[in-house]
Structure 1
Amino acid sequence: MRRFGKRAAVVIGAASFLLSTAACGSGGGDGTSGEVAVDGSSTVYPMSNTAAELLAEENSNIEVSVGFSGTGGGFKAFCEEGRTDISNASRPIKDEEAAACADTGTDYTELLVATDALTVVVHPDLDVQCITVDQLKRIFGPDDSATNWSDLDPSFPDVKITGFIPGTDSGTYDYMNADVVASEQEILREDFESSEDDNVLVQGVAGTQGAVGFFGYSYYEENADSLKALEIDSGAGCVAPSAETAQSGDYTPLARPLFIYVSDAAYADNTAVKEYVDFYIENLAEIATIAQFIPLNDSDYAATKSAVEALG
């Protein structure tokens, strides 16, 4: 069971603020009832779950279930099995997943909901502050993999590298693999422990000397007292992950978009899905902030809002 202790406290404390600002949104006092099924990315889970909890304060007749089977698992449930109305994703849908949706007649709308700074974390006692993208590839890629921190740089400590990474169903795994490591083998190294639960990765890195891992920025923020985030040098100097560097484009190549995919038919036919999605997007900036994500800039938010309006 996923734990969100610190985030839950933030949500509870901030709920009254969000709901006071959401009065001009889609509302929820019209008596709409029904069920909404959401699954997919564990990274996006906190946002979609926060939206569900806050909507429940306005309309307790809508029951939203939010799972976190991973981006790939979510698209399987959404496209192939038709078990969900909305799929959370920490990467864009793949061609084969889109084809599976087409085969089952599942039309969908992609909605950008937040920006993430994919964060590389190490054990807090490790005497390393910044790594290059090439060193990042040697840590996580299957080719010429480093086994000791000193393999990467003689000035780094002589400590074994132990890794904790997302599972292969995770969009975070896919993003690191395809957009950062870009290995011809199309996999990350296989001698690291993996899990679809980001909290397992947090505990592994925090409890193991020399450990390294990666996940969404919000999980680092939630556990910053037990982890250290590495700065990344992509050629223009060391840059730390933050909301500002992700939005500005300085945190490359680890700044990434986060999405929800909405079934067009579910939005049109299920008033509960429509109300949940409308509430989610109408209050997107507040939800992102409460769930400790990086809100969209104005132009990206306008595009997302327009995409929802096009759904009708």
Structure 2
Amino acid sequence: MKKWQLFGTTVVGASLLLGACGGGNAGSGSGDNAKGEVKGDGSSTVGPIIEKLNEKFAKDNQDVTVSNGTSGTGGGFEKFLSGSTDFSNASRPIKDEEKKKLDDKGIKYDEFKVAQDGVTITVNKENDFVKELTKEQLKEIYSGEAKSWKDVNPKWPDKEIKAYSPDQSHGTYDFFTEEIMDKGDIKAEKNADTNVIVQSVQKNEQGIGYFGYNFYEQNKDKLKEVKIKDDKGKLTEPTKKTIQDGSYALSRPLYIYTNEKKLKENKGFQEFMKFILDDKGKAAEDAGFVALPKKDYSEQQDKLKDIIGKESDNKDSDKKEDK
């Protein structure tokens, strides 16, 4: 399978997600009789997790086709609102205005957490002076108040900062705006494609950028990670442990929002959601993210059962008793 690539607002569809053509043994999956088409869109951060999940899911669920796009968290919610998708991936919680629009249309939805992420701040590999930043210093940089590194710290060189950011279609942009900017404007070179941000920081010695932890993990030989002080002045660093337990200053959950009516009606969709939670974050780890604590997946499995009913679980129990 070709390497996962993200193309900003370009939809990445069923050609990447092989739900209809897995080559596993028929009858070996939990959804032996499951059929259907499942469509998703949204966060380019969550996208690689969905692909990893579907690579596994496809092996035993040949009659279920799962497709996914990466038009960004905001773009994904627009498609979710229009009814053209069954689930929407998000790298931030749903906004109040998005909730209202869904409510006005009579669309009931459910929120599931799929993994944990840490927004990682990086600078150019040749930058030998920026090792840590406070949230206030980040705000100075991304508000445009600090024009040079010397403006951030008098001990640093008087060289113009080149700041890079995801654009407004990204949940990562919204998260950063909320956590760092106090909802103020981000003044930086923005791009829909996270890979372009990575490359921009890599090429510019005065560059600084931010994105999901997996992008840093994939490019840590080319970039330098910056530690961040939390609100109490404690220095934090993004690691799997600190991201999972939330002690890293810029930790965040990653979400899947499901259309409840479509979930109840589509057996294939039910099986895919059960598979996601049964996986307990293994696919997320494979994609370079961090699994949630196991109890979080267990709690959400119970939530899913309450939504779709326990009929399928009773069938699974009958099979186990017959063995």
TM over 0.5: yes
Q: In 2, distance between residues paired with 1:160 and 1:3?
A: 35
Amino acid at match of 2:54: A
For residue 26 of structure 1, report the CA deviation from its aligned partner.
6.2
Conserved 8 A contact 1:90-1:259: yes
Q: In 2, distance between residues paired with 1:109 and 1:290?
A: 25
Q: In 1, distance between residues paired with 2:68 and 2:163?
A: 28
Alignment of 1:306 onto 2:302: yes
1:171–1:35 CA distance, 2 compared to 1 (3 A): same
Tell me, which stretches of 5 or more residues in structure 1 are unaligned?
Answer: 6-19
Alignment of 1:297 onto 2:297: no
1:3–1:203 CA distance, 2 compared to 1 (3 A): farther
For residue 130 of structure 1, report the CA deviation from its aligned partner.
0.6
Alignment of 1:27 onto 2:48: no
- Per the alignment, residue 54 of structure 1 pairs with 56
Q: How does 1:1-312 map to 2 (within 5 A)?
A: 4=4, 27-28=30-31, 30-79=32-81, 81-127=82-128, 128-141=130-143, 145-183=145-183, 186-189=184-187, 192-234=188-230, 235-252=232-249, 254-312=250-308
Q: In 2, distance between residues paired with 1:111 and 1:168?
A: 23
1:126 is paired with a residue whose SS is coil
Task: Describe the superposition over 1:157-215 as per-residue Cα deviations: whole angstroms up to 9, x where unpaired.
Answer: 332211221110111000100122214xx3212xx221222111111111112111111
For residue 236 of structure 1, report the CA deviation from its aligned partner.
3.5
2:281 is paired with a residue whose SS is helix
Q: In 2, distance between residues paired with 1:237 and 1:109?
A: 35
Between Structure 1 and Structure 2, how many residues are aligned? 285
Q: In 2, distance between residues paired with 1:285 and 1:156?
A: 41
Conserved 8 A contact 2:280-2:291: yes
For residue 247 of structure 1, report the CA deviation from its aligned partner.
2.5
Conserved 8 A contact 2:149-2:156: yes
Conserved 8 A contact 2:73-2:171: yes
**Largest Rg, 1 or 2:** 2
For residue 293 of structure 1, report the CA deviation from its aligned partner.
1.0
Q: In 2, distance between residues paired with 1:259 and 1:215?
A: 16
- Per the alignment, residue 313 of structure 2 pairs with none
Q: In 1, distance between residues paired with 2:287 and 2:246?
A: 22
Conserved 8 A contact 1:26-1:278: no
Q: In 2, distance between residues paired with 1:299 and 1:236?
A: 30
Conserved 8 A contact 2:274-2:301: no
Percent of aligned pairs with the same amino acid:
37
Question: Which structure ranks higher in relative contact order (CA pairs < 8 Å, sequence separation ≥ 6)?
Answer: 1
Conserved 8 A contact 1:26-1:279: no
Task: Describe the superposition over 1:222-257 as per-residue Cα deviations: whole angstroms up to 9, x where unpaired.
Answer: 1111111100012434221111112233212x1111
Root-mean-square deviation (CA), in Å?
Answer: 2.0
Q: In 2, distance between residues paired with 1:250 and 1:134?
A: 18
Moved more, 30-39 or 131-140: 30-39
1:158–1:107 CA distance, 2 compared to 1 (3 A): same
For residue 41 of structure 1, report the CA deviation from its aligned partner.
0.7
Q: In 2, distance between residues paired with 1:286 and 1:3?
A: 18
Q: In 1, distance between residues paired with 2:294 and 2:52?
A: 21
Q: In 1, distance between residues paired with 2:210 and 2:217?
A: 13
Q: In 2, distance between residues paired with 1:26 and 1:89?
A: 28
Task: Describe the superposition over 1:7-42 as per-residue Cα deviations: whole angstroms up to 9, x where unpaired.
Answer: xxxxxxxxxxxxx9xxxx9624x1423211110111
Conserved 8 A contact 2:114-2:276: no
Moved over 6 A (4+): none
1:3–1:124 CA distance, 2 compared to 1 (3 A): farther
2:180 is paired with a residue whose SS is helix
What TM-score, normalized by structure 1, do the two folds share?
A: 0.86
